[in-house]
Amino acid sequence: MYSIVTVSPKFQVVISKEVRESLGITAHCKLVMMTKGKNILLVPVDEDIRNYKGFLPKMDLSGLRDRNDRF
pLDDT recorded at residue 16? 92
pLDDT per residue as tens, the chain (71 positions): 778 999 999 999 999 999 999 888 999 888 989 888 898 888 888 767 676 666 667 666 666 666 666 65
Q: Which domains does the chain have, with CATH numbers?
A: 1-47 (2.10.260)
Nearest-angstrom CA–CA distance, 23 and 44: 8
pTM over 0.75: no
All residues at 6 or more sequence positions from 27 whose CB lies less than 8 Å from its CB, including other chains: none
Nearest-angstrom CA–CA distance, 25 and 44: 7
